[in-house]
Structure formats: C-alpha cells, structure tokens
Structure 1
C-alpha cells in the first residue's frame, strides 16, 4: 500500500458515523437516545453517508443494546442517510430473527438499511449465556450463520421457513472485524468489509490485505470495498481536543480495569488516573485515534487514508458534552469537503 500509488483525497471517499449511544455520568439512556437522533439529523445535513449503531450488552455506558429498535428510531427521524448496524453480533441471535427484524426495517425505510454483522459477543461470557440460553455458539459457526441469514433474504419462497418481512429484499450485508477471520470471509463471499481500526489499530493493515487478497467478485461487489473505523475528536484548538479526548481515554481505562461505566467528563490530567503500564496499553489500543485542531485532524486523516487506501471511513467520537460532540463531527465534515 505505497503512498506513491495513492490518489485518494478525503473529498473522494464517503464518511460515516459510528454512534455508541453514550450514556454519560449524570445522564440516562433516554437522554443518550435523544442525542443519537439529534446527531443523526446533523450528520445527514452535513453529508455523512451512513449512521451505524452497535450492539453491546450489560454496558451501563451504552444505550444501543436493542440495536434494531434504535435503528428504526433513527431512520424514522431522518430522511436520506443510510442507517444500520455496526454491528449486530450474530452469535447472539437466531439468523431468522435478524432476517425478520432487518426485513421489517427495510420494508419501513426502503433503500436505507445496512446490516453489519460481527462475530464477537459484544459482552462478557455471563451475559452471552443470558442472551443465548442453551445455544453454545462461540462464533466458530459464524460462516454458517451468515449463510443461513443470507438464504432467508434470497430464498424467494424456496426455504421451508420463510422470513416475512425479509424474503426477497436487497439489504446490504457487511462483515465487521478486528482480526483476520472476518476479513478473509468477507473477501471469499465478495461482501463489503468494515475493520475496527478504532480499537484494533495494529491489525488494520494485515486485515485489509487479507480482505483484498481473498476477494472474489460476487453479485454484490465487483471489487473490494473496505471501510475503516477511526476515533476522531476535533475541536477549535489542540488543547481543547486533547482535553475532550480524556473522556474516551477514561472509558477505555475503566474497561481494561474490568469496571466499565458511563462516559465520564473530561479531566485536566490523565496521569493522575492511569499507571504507566495502563497508559502504554491504552496508547497501543487507541493508537489510530486522531485528536486535535481542524488542521491536525485533516492531515492525520489523510495520512490514515494514504496507509489504508480505504473506500470509506466511519467516525467514532466518544465526547462527554453533546454540543462538543456535534462540533467535532461538523469539523470533520468541513475539512473533508462534505459540508
């Protein structure tokens, strides 16, 4: 992926939003979901391509556990932006249920729904058991689950069990990943692929290489289409952006301490909270995060594009104050020529 062959500029690719529907300290799920719809409406106005929500369970700081319900809420409150899952954790569900849910969403909002699928549980083992009851899937049967799900959409009445709504609908399916497994599978099936660079930066380039090398043209795609996730926290000044980023840093800090919670307000000095070991671990996990003024963010996003040759970027911004979060997404849209 040499920079010499790169001709892509930020203005050439699509930008999208990954919203973890953060519940902030002092807030509630109700406020988080209200802010989600508000951000989606602004993102639509600012030229973002799609708005994805993620399935997480037993997380007091994330309001999007019932992902399909929130997708319906966002799609119903917007008019043109694509809305979807980033992702649905398929091992938690019977494929038929997901086919029916997304068939319903596509029937309500034709041509606007994406179905991004992940292989991880999106939660801890105890919660995974509570979700799955007697199902013992560890994700190893993910390819078979994907195949079953796709068959519900494509069957045209040929299967003994039919997804209604769902059958015969053209709902784009994406595979999501933070390692090479889904990258290879997406390539083999000729599906679009989204990589979680925002929390697995070291695996980004190897996974994209695997995806592109294994890609087989399909009736869905003639050539690979790769989207990369990236944390972006933009503000008018470097100092403000760095301070806003401490909310995200605290979130990951408490996650690695096995004590996840609500999104905390920014602090002046993270060195008062983390140990040197924790700081190093977080810097590795959040290594691809882009934090700074408009000029800094524009430069670093272009460097990231040069490295990844991505076809699209999906932006995550874990920012405590909703107005600051809106402004960060607005800045990204402005520097990429979308607004």
Structure 2
C-alpha cells in the first residue's frame, strides 16, 4: 500500500464512502446525478478511493447495486480507485461477485476494489426476497476463500472458472465492526476496513487484534505482507460552524427516527424527546467519532482520530442531511485542494 500523500490534510490518505443518499423531495435519478458530480470532483483532487455500500429496501439510499454504480462512476473518472464498501457476500454466490468485479477489473484495470461484509444489508423480509437464509452469513469465511480462488484463477470448485474474473486478482478488503472481521482479515492477510462511522464500539480492540495476529500473504488478489487498516468516520466540514452543529443535530434526529421506525413513524419533535432516552444514547454512541465544525477543526479531529484508530487511511462518510453541506465537506477536506 502506498504511503500518505504529502498533501493529505489529516496525515493519512483520505477516501470517500458515498451512501448515495436520496434527500427529501429528491428522486433517485437526482441523487445519482449528485453522486456522479461528487465522483468527478474526487477524481481530480487527491482522494484515494470512492466506495459504495450495498443497502436494500431503504428509500433514502440508492446504492442497492454497487457494481452498477462503480461501472458508471468509472466511466466518468480517470484516476480514483472505485469499489464496494461493501458487497454483503451472504446475499450472493461468490461466482456471481467474481464475474461482476472481474468484468469491472477488465474494463478498468488497476482501479477496482472489492470490500466484503457478512451482514445482510437489509431487514429479514429483504433477506427472504433475495432468496437467502441467515445460514449464509455463517459461510462467510468459506465464501471469501471461494471468491478469492475465482479471482486468482485457482478455483476451489471443480470444473468452474470465472469468466470474466479469473486472473484479475481484484483487491479484496474485509469489512467489519467486530472482532470477527478483524480475525478473518488477519488470518487471510487482507486489508481491514472498520465501520467506525456507525459502529465504533470495538474499534481499538479490533484493530489491535488485527495487527497482532496478521499473517502475511504476499499473493495476488489482495494478499499483502503488512497489515493495512482503513477506518470510517463521519464529518461535516463547512465554514459556518453553527450550521455544521445543526447538521449533526439533524443527523441525530434522523437516526433516532430510523431506529424506532419499525415500531411507528415519529415526528422531529418526538425524536427530540428521545435524545436522552436509551435510543438517543445509542445514536450518540454511533456518532462517537463524528468530526463536525470548520474545515480546520475537522481536519484536526480527523488527524487525532487516525492516530487513535491506528489507521493507515480514513474513509469519510456523509453526516450532513443537507446535500450542499456534504459536497462542501468533500471540497474542504480534499487532499489536493
């Protein structure tokens, strides 16, 4: 893995996790147009990579098909690495993913990442609609190895070869928010991306375990000789510190509403009353590492967070419900700005 660019404002490489959010009153098409604009900007301003996460049955997120988004964004950019952060492998057969990302790697060589997670990326009804069972998550380590075999042209399934895919050696990353992912990434000698942008509780313990137990795997297809950690963070970096703080407050309300949505719809006023409740405290814990304020303040916070997380790279996700505030954050944190 390359060292941090000297121009990075936080001391380590910076990347972007685009959730392809669909804002209030916005269409999916408009959301994806904004994501394309974001990708074009990131491509020319020093960001290392741009990832999309697989989410299903969520009206406010338009990234259900990361491979399709990656293909579109790759066609509109030239330099930045693009990938899934991640593909929820229990939702798919390893062969299908090998073929999809192998195709991308053939079209855009040297630019495709494949982050792998074991969460379903949706609710139980969605899992059933995908024709999957919860048992699929228990097969995650085996499925990672099967997928890796296809991409290395060392298939573990007799008589089956991924075309496209075989020999593309797409870079693999293990995603996680617990010790399980850290253990797997260490055992396979793969880079590890921790979801501290929404599940920070086990961050330091998981990273320490990963670095301690890492087994070098200097092989094609994502194996490497040294551990590499990407840590997620949320941010609002805009000139108006008061508006940035309001964006954080609105994000808290949105997450509270999301967590109780399976019970009933609630208003902003009702969500306000839940801020000090156990649900509100849960949301506060999720946002432990949110960096909010002026660009200089946020850069300092992210620099401190990178050290705290023992991270080789940070990947920043949107915290701001306001579309322009998120784009301005990307502009204000741009390594090449």
Q: Do they fold alike, i.e. is TM over 0.5?
A: yes
Maintained 8 Å contact 2:114/2:173? yes
Distance 1:125 1:270, change over 3 A: closer
Are 1:48 and 2:41 an aligned pair? no
Distance 1:271 1:256, change over 3 A: closer
Question: Which string of whole-angstrom CA distances, capped at 9 and with x for unpartnered residues, describes residues 11-52 of structure 1?
Answer: 542100001100111001111111111111111122100000
Q: CA deviation at 1:260?
A: 11
Where do 5+ consecutive residues of structure 2 fail to align? 1-7
- Equivalent residue number for residue 276 of structure 1: 276
- Equivalent residue number for residue 4 of structure 2: none
1:230 alignment partner, one of 227, 230, 233: 233
Q: CA deviation at 1:306?
A: 1.8
- Equivalent residue number for residue 321 of structure 1: 322
Distance 1:52 1:193, change over 3 A: same
Please give the residue correspondences for 1:113-192 in structure 2 after superposition, counting only pairs within 5 Å.
113-133=112-132, 135-155=133-153, 159-192=158-191
Distance 1:260 1:25, change over 3 A: farther
Distance 1:308 1:247, change over 3 A: same
- Equivalent residue number for residue 289 of structure 2: 288
TM-score between both structures, scaled by the size of structure 1: 0.89
Please give the residue correspondences for 1:304-315 in structure 2 after superposition, counting only pairs within 5 Å.
304-315=305-316
Q: Distance in 1 between matches of 2:97 and 2:294?
A: 41
2:255 alignment partner, one of 223, 235, 252: 252
Q: Distance in 1 between matches of 2:10 and 2:237?
A: 18
Which deviates more from structure 2 when the two are superposed, residues 102-111 or residues 149-158?
A: 149-158
- Equivalent residue number for residue 33 of structure 1: 32
Q: CA deviation at 1:201?
A: 1.4
Q: How many residues align?
A: 322
Q: Distance in 2 between matches of 1:69 and 1:260?
A: 33
Q: CA deviation at 1:71?
A: 1.0
Q: Distance in 2 between matches of 1:56 and 1:291?
A: 25
Maintained 8 Å contact 1:11/1:338? no
TM-score between both structures, scaled by the size of structure 2: 0.90
Alpha-carbon RMSD: 2.2
Distance 1:247 1:33, change over 3 A: farther
Please give the residue correspondences for 1:4-43 in structure 2 after superposition, counting only pairs within 5 Å.
10-43=9-42
Distance 1:46 1:259, change over 3 A: farther
Where do 5+ consecutive residues of structure 1 fail to align? 1-8
Q: CA deviation at 1:130?
A: 1.1
Maintained 8 Å contact 1:20/1:62? yes
- Equivalent residue number for residue 215 of structure 1: 214
Question: Which string of whole-angstrom CA distances, capped at 9 and with x for unpartnered residues, describes residues 226-274 of structure 1?
Answer: 000000111102201111223422331122113599xx9xx8x997353
Distance 1:228 1:160, change over 3 A: same
Distance 1:308 1:157, change over 3 A: closer
Distance 1:247 1:70, change over 3 A: farther
